[in-house]
Amino acid sequence: MRDPAVIVYGDRVELLVAMGTAGTAALLIGLPLLVIVIVVLAVLGPQWSRAGRWRPGQPWLDEPMWFGRPGVQVPEGVVAIAAGSQVDVAGPTVGGAHGQW
């Protein structure tokens, strides 16, 4: 670090310290790189942290999920499906919004 300079403006005194080469490089190179890394992590971070996702047309390989709280009466017309049972569903088995035909 260089010696500080003192500047006097009437009754006001200011102390100025010159920045060295390393400080200048950190400010002009390191700070923009830090901003770029933060933006990249903010944009790509959620994508990297997601597990594989189910897409329409793919078979469901996970265990059945419970929706609602236990003990709720099933409305009339809703068919309960036992875990592990196979159900025929009318309609195409592929396609959907993602455009695989």
Give the residues across from 16 on adjacent strands.
Answer: 5
Give the three-state DSSP class for 15: strand
For residue 23, is it within any domain? yes
For residue 75, is it within any domain? no
57 touches 93 (CB < 8 A): yes
Number of domains making up the chain? 1
For residue 90, is it within any domain? no
Per-residue pLDDT tens digits for 56-80: 788 877 777 777 777 777 677 777 6
57 touches 94 (CB < 8 A): yes
The DSSP secondary-structure symbol of 27 reads I
Q: Residue type at 68? A: G
Per-residue pLDDT tens digits for 2-46: 667 778 888 888 877 778 888 888 899 999 999 999 999 999 887
